[in-house]
Amino acid sequence: MNTILIICAVTATLAFVALAIQAILTLQQVRHTAQAVEFLALNADGKLTALDPVMDTLKSVSGAFTSGWFKIAQAAYGLFARK
């Protein structure tokens, strides 16, 4: 009976040690990932401001599509496209 208890205790201890090692490795990877995301966020801020003219152009183009002229042209096309 004592042998079985010792084997169970050793097995549980080994399983706990393996779990602890895996948790440490996982937390290290999470730390590295968080550092990479922080680096990306700090560097992306300056690069994204360079896209402001492009975004303004896209806003003006989308505004033209939702304007009255586009709706009139769409209605006219709808009249001629019907069979």
Q: Per residue in 19-75, pLDDT tens?
A: 999 999 999 999 999 999 999 888 887 777 777 787 888 888 777 766 777 677 777
* DSSP track, 31-49: HHHHHHHHHHHHHHHHHHG
Take residue 67 and report the two structure tokens written for it.
């304007």
Whether 11 has a pLDDT exceeding 90, the answer reads: yes
Global pTM reads 0.51
What domain count does the chain have?
A: 1
Identify the domain containing residue 76 by its residue range: 2-81
Q: Which residue has the tokens 């079985």?
A: 4
What distance in Å separates the CA atoms of residue 36 and residue 69, rounded to the nearest whole number?
Answer: 47
Cβ proximity of 41 and 35 under 8 Å? no
Q: Band of the pLDDT at 83, cuts 50, 70, 90?
A: low
**27: Cα within 13 Å, side-chain hemisphere:** 6
